[in-house]
Every structure is written in C-alpha cells, then in structure tokens.
Amino acid sequence: MKRREFLKYSAAGITLPFWLQNCDFTDAKYPVHFHSDHHVGHLLFQAKEWKTIGARDTEVAIVGGGIAGLAAAYQLRKKDFQLFELSDQLGGTVSTADFNGIQISQGAHYDLAYPSNYGEEVIQLLNELNLIKYEPWRKAWSFKDEQHIIPSFRKQQCYDFGKRRKDVIPESALKEQFIELMLQFEGEMKMPTRLIDSRLHHLNKISFEEYLSSELPVTDEFIRQVDYHMYDDYGGSANMVSALAGIHYFACRPYYTEDVPLFSPPRGNQYFADALIAKIDTSKIHPSHLVMEIQRAGNGYLLKIVDVQNQQVKELKAEQVIYAGQKHALKYIYPDQADLFKHEYAPWMVVNLIGNQEKGDYGFWQNEYLGDNKQFLGFIDSSVQSQQGLNSNRVFTGYYCLRPSDREYLLTIEESKNRIAQETQGYINSMLNKDIDIEACFIKVMGHAMPIPAPSYLFQDANTSTKAKMIYAGVDNGRLPLLYEALDSGLQAAALV
Ligand SMILES: Cc1cc2nc3c(=O)[nH]c(=O)nc-3n(C[C@H](O)[C@H](O)[C@H](O)COP(=O)(O)OP(=O)(O)OC[C@H]3O[C@@H](n4cnc5c(N)ncnc54)[C@H](O)[C@@H]3O)c2cc1C
C-alpha cells in the first residue's frame, strides 16, 4: 500500500488488516513468492472481447478441479466428460507450491481416521484408491501410509498470549462438563453430514455460542477458546457457526475415549487429489480453463470457457453440468440459479516459510496461536512429518483466517508480501523461542476459501431444489468445509448424472 493511501485509510478511522497497519518495513532477505487466482477469475469480464472458437460436445462438463470436482471425475472416469479448472494447478484448497521439486502444502493439511458409522461411499472410494485399511479393534478405518501418521505426543501445543500449554481449552471443571455434553453426541455426528439424523437438525437453527450458553456456565474465556477452534476449521466464531457444526467438530470422532490417528502427508491433502488424478484420463482434465458462462441450449447447456494460456474462448456443448466451483461467482456465470446460494465465505491466507532442519530438532506438528493478531491461527511444523523428499528443509506452514469484511484488502497482499513473511516469521520465532533461518517464502491467498457453516446453512443441498440438469458439488453446497464432505459431494453429484 502506498503511504498516501495508508494515511487516507487511517485518517478515516478504518480498521486495517495487520499488514496495512504499518507501512514501514524492509524487504525480506529471501525470495517471497505470491500466488492468487484472483487475476484469472477476473478474466470473466475481460475475456468477453477475446476470439471464440467453435463448439465441441461432451456428455458431462465438470466445472472446478478441487476435491469435489476430481471425485466426480473419478466416478465418471469411464464416461464422456471434460473437467475445467481455472487455476494452473488442480486441487483447489488442497493445492501445493513447488520448492526445488518438492510439493509444499498451501491449504488443507490433514485428515483423521474414519469411524465405521461414516458414509460408505467415501470409504469405498478411499479403499479403491488403496489409501485406507480397516482396523477392527478400533472399529475404524485408518491410513495405509503409516509414515504420515503424526505421533500423538508430537501432535500439538498451544501458545496463548505467550503462555504454553497442551490444549487450546485447558483442563477445568467447565471443560469436563463440556466433554460430557459432547459425549452425548458420540456416534451421532456422522460424516458426510447429510447422514445426520433429522431429529438433530434443530441444532442447525441456532448458533454454537447460543447452544453452549444454554447448556453450560460458559465464561468469555471459554468462548474465546472455542472461537479459536471454530475459526480454525470453519472460518467463523462460535456465534457465527451453527450448534450442529460446532458439536460436529468436537464429537464426530471418539476424541475423548481413544487416540484417533491423525494423518498428514508433507504435501497435505493434495495427497488425496493426486490419488484421484492418477486414476483419471488426464486428457479430459483442463487446468488454466475458466468457465465464464453457462446457458441453457436445447436439452443441455452451452458453456463458454476461457483458455487462459492461449487467450481464447472455447465453446462446449454438454448434456449435463456438474458445477463444483465456488458458488459466489454463479451470478456472473449462470445467474438463473445464483439465488440458491446465499452463504458467506471466509478468505484464507497460507504462508509457507522454508527453513533448515537441524538434526534432532523436532517440534510439534500443530502450533496453535491465540494472541493479539486474531487472524493468525498458528502453524504446522514439518519437522515431525516424514521427511522423505524434504531433504534437509523444515517447512513452517502459517495459517491466517481473514474476516469476510477484509476481502477487499486481499488485493493489497501482494505488495505487502515482505511484511507478511516477516510478521509470520516473528510469530513462529516467538512460539519456538528461537530465530529461524528462512530460505524462501510462499504466500497463497484464497478469497472464497471456505463456506462458513452459519445457522440454517447445513443440509441446504441445491440438488434437491432443482430438477434441471445442472448438478451442484463442492462443500459450499450445504456441507461442512472438510475433505470427507468434498469427496462425498463429488460422488453424490456423479450419481445424479
Ligand atoms: C486453508 C484451508 C485449510 C484447510 N484444511 C483442511 C484440513 O486440514 N482438513 C480438511 O478436511 N479440510 C480442510 N479444509 C477444507 C477443505 O480443504 C475443503 O473444504 C475442500 O478441499 C473443498 O473442496 P471443494 O472441491 O469443495 O472446493 P475447492 O477446493 O474450493 O475447489 C473448487 C475449485 O473450483 C475452481 N473453480 C471455481 N470457479 C471456477 C470456474 N468458473 N471455472 C473453472 N474452475 C473454477 C477453483 O479454482 C477451485 O479449484 C481447509 C480449507 C482451507 C481453505
């Protein structure tokens, strides 16, 4: 941000995000790379002037190559389909950055074992992909690549205004009451959430904070700690998300009675995307292709697709469309049904700092941060992950969950990238209590990274309210923003073809 603009905003009393609160900083001494697909999204408007080339036909067009779109493509792999992804990479919120030929996670990082009450379709998919195995003694599915399971004593530490402890919510009588409350829902909080019994749907109508306040003698301090967890997985505070979403977070696995294996490959959940892509004919998958317009045409649809690299617009006729892109852009792409989706999205920024792995120096996988900067949630430390392919590098993946009202400032992140890299390094230094040497930094910004599961959001599946051949997939179709939900939404969409 230019000094002039900074002064203008400050004078107007506008609360600026942290990277704009001070315009004096020096450049980082290492390269800071920045990635956002915002400029590609904006081709929606610019490409209207570009040359258009003639129509091809396909049975199914899939919009979006995140986990949901890829799961749909996998399920339709023997059919005639074409998948279009606006980014130059596949994976959406699980995609990675490349550092000297190794993949560094820039988004979703982990999943946990699946109890046997989870939906069978995703289990079957992961089993077909040869990724999971059944463990009868715990009545759950765990991961075959055991080298990526994080040792439980290295799972997490929390840093709260400088004080270190194990958990975000410390032991107390109130926590015991809270656990007792959550235990009532064990076995009921299924995944995918569409399997949750309708007798519990009333919990989707009120906020988590409202629910907790009616059941427990909660304190502001307790809610602050719960808020941290809600931002971390859902992008909103306990008064922004539904009670059902909140309860699901704490009770969807037997966290209080068993040690639930946590699985985190160094490249994060791109691991799952790669397993899907490996089984799909990649000539049917088109990265750097933005679907900019969809129109009804006869019994099917006519799609206008921007070929970003060749600066052309291609037309495609499809009998059916699976729309697995974020739905906020429907108002430009397919305005007829934009009104089906009215929810809010949380923007996220992921800052990867690449340092050196010193022999014998191991940290904690998750480092949860509660402090003055509420947007910074902490970092993942690769030192406890399998180092295969990481050579001597130690990767710190810092997470910032931004407020929807900060979205307009995302455009200023690129010019503040040095400041953001240094700020993140400062947080990590203070949490590790030492200065880390950094070789490179990668910043990724996602403007509509995850739908916030506000009251009444869950279970609003647009596929039940439309009889047209437009089928919706993706976590922002009334699901929680989780890998399992994204996989299931893709499979369900494919089943409607
Ligand atoms: C920072 C972060 C960390 C997370 N961590 C975890 C985690 O550890 N574990 C977990 O279970 N979940 C996690 N999640 C949530 C999880 O990653 C997502 O909910 C899930 O991967 C979403 O998949 P999706 O396919 O529904 O959407 P997305 O990943 O958002 O994919 C949508 C895709 O559609 C593309 N697209 C959109 N419009 C168009 C268009 N017009 N034309 C072409 N392409 C288009 C987009 O570029 C994008 O690639 C995390 C999310 C974030 C943001």
CATH number of the domain enclosing 192: 1.10.405.10
Q: How many other CB atoms are there within 10 angstroms of residue 64's CB atom?
A: 25
245 & 96 share domain:
no
Q: Which two tokens stand for residue 15?
A: 């609360």
Residue 382 lies in a domain: yes
83 & 184 share domain:
no
CA distances from 68 to 14, 351, 356 (A): 38, 24, 35
pLDDT value at position 446? 96
> Phi and psi dihedrals of 138, rounded to 5?
-115, 5
Q: Which two tokens stand for residue 444?
A: 């990724």
Residue 81 lies in a domain: yes
Q: Which two tokens stand for residue 409?
A: 């400032």
Residue 45 lies in a domain: yes
Residue 165 lies in a domain: no
Locate all alpha helices (DSSP H) within 304-364, ordered by sequence: 330-333
90 & 71 share domain:
yes
Domain tally, the chain? 3
What letter would DSSP give residue 152?
Answer: G
Q: Is the pTM of this model over 0.85?
A: yes
Structural domain ending residue among the three candidates 261, 276, 310: 261
- Give me ligand 1 centre to Cα 146, in Å: 25
CATH for 280? 3.50.50.60
476 & 388 share domain:
no
Alpha-carbon distance of 105 to 263, in angstroms, equals: 14
Q: Which residue puts its alpha carbon closest to atom 31 of ligand 1?
A: 66
218 & 329 share domain:
no
Shortest CA distance to 84 belongs to which of 328, 329, 307, 278? 307
pLDDT value at position 207? 98
101 & 250 share domain:
no
Q: Which residue puts its alpha carbon closest to atom 53 of ligand 1?
A: 449
- Give me ligand 1 centre to Cα 199, in Å: 30
pLDDT value at position 3? 47
429 & 489 share domain:
no
- Give me ligand 1 centre to Cα 66, in Å: 5
Residue 158 lies in a domain: no
Alpha-carbon distance of 158 to 168, in angstroms, equals: 6
CA distances from 96 to 199, 214, 271, 370, 469 (A): 40, 42, 10, 26, 33
pLDDT value at position 429? 95
Residue 153 lies in a domain: no
Q: Which residue puts its alpha carbon closest to atom 48 of ligand 1?
A: 92
Mutate to test the pocket of ligand 1, among 93, 289, 492 (most ligand atoms within 8 A of CB): 93
- Give me ligand 1 centre to Cα 150, in Å: 23
- Nearest-atom number in ligand 1 for the CA of 446 is 53
Per DSSP, the three-state class of 267 is coil
DSSP H or E stretch at residue 464:
helix 462-465
354 & 437 share domain:
yes
DSSP H or E stretch at residue 234:
helix 220-234
- Give me ligand 1 centre to Cα 441, in Å: 22
- Nearest-atom number in ligand 1 for the CA of 484 is 11
What letter would DSSP give residue 75?
Answer: H
Alpha-carbon distance of 242 to 313, in angstroms, equals: 41
314 & 433 share domain:
no
Residues in a beta bridge with 141:
114, 134
Alpha-carbon distance of 278 to 476, in angstroms, equals: 25
Would you state the torsion angle of the CA atoms of residues 488, 36, 386, 131, taken in this order, to the nearest 10 degrees? 20
**In this structure, are residues 238 and 211 in contact, taking their beta carbons and an 8 Å threshold?**
no
Tens-digit pLDDT string for the chain (497 aa) = 454 555 555 555 567 888 888 666 677 789 999 999 988 878 878 887 888 888 789 999 999 999 999 999 999 999 999 999 999 999 999 999 999 888 899 999 999 999 999 999 999 999 999 999 999 998 999 999 999 999 999 999 999 999 999 999 999 999 999 999 999 999 999 999 999 999 999 999 999 999 999 999 999 999 999 999 999 999 999 999 999 999 999 999 999 999 999 999 999 999 999 999 999 999 999 999 999 999 999 999 999 999 999 999 999 999 999 999 999 999 999 999 999 999 999 999 999 999 988 777 889 999 999 998 889 999 999 998 865 555 678 999 999 999 999 999 999 999 999 999 999 999 999 999 999 999 999 999 999 999 999 999 999 999 987 666 799 999 999 999 999 999 999 999 999 99
Alpha-carbon distance of 160 to 287, in angstroms, equals: 41
Domain that holds residue 133: 114-146+173-261
- Nearest-atom number in ligand 1 for the CA of 474 is 26
- Give me ligand 1 centre to Cα 83, in Å: 15
**In this structure, are residues 357 and 477 in contact, taking their beta carbons and an 8 Å threshold?**
no
b/e per residue 339-362 (b: at least 16 CB within 10 A): ebbebebbbbbbbbbbbebeeeee
Alpha-carbon distance of 69 to 88, in angstroms, equals: 15
392 & 279 share domain:
no
Alpha-carbon distance of 31 to 132, in angstroms, equals: 38
Sign of CA dihedral 406, 410, 415, 418: positive
Structural domain ending residue among the three candidates 261, 290, 315: 261
What letter would DSSP give residue 150?
Answer: P
CATH for 407? 3.90.660.20
The residues lining ligand 1, judged by C-beta closer than 6 Å to any ligand atom, are: 37, 63-69, 84-87, 92-94, 107-111, 269, 290-291, 324-326, 329, 333, 348, 350, 399, 446, 449-450, 474-475, 481-483, 486
- Give me ligand 1 centre to Cα 314, in Å: 25
358 & 333 share domain:
no
Residue 434 lies in a domain: yes
137 & 235 share domain:
yes
Residue with tokens 């697995």: 324
